[in-house]
Amino acid sequence: MSFDFLYLASQSPRRRQLLEQLGVRHELLLPGPEEDAEGLEAVWADELPEHYVARVTQAKLGAALSRLKARGLSPAPVLCSDTTVALGRLILGKPLDAEDAFQTLSRLAGRSHRVITAVVVATPDGQSEAALNVSSVDFAAVDAEQLRRYVASGEPFGKAGSYAIQSQAAAWISRIEGSYSGIMGLPLFETAQLLRKIGLRF
Q: Whole-angstrom Cα distance, residue 178 to residue 57?
A: 20
Q: 108-128: buried (b, 16+ CB within 10 Å) or exposed (e) per residue?
A: bbeeebbbbbbbbbbbeeeee
Catalytic: 100? no
Identified catalytic residue from 82, 97, 100, 143: 82
Contacts of 81 (CB under 8 A, 6+ apart): 10, 12, 15, 57, 60, 117, 118, 119, 120, 185, 186
Distance CA 59, CA 130 (A): 13
Distance CA 121, CA 94 (A): 24
Residues marked active site are found at 82
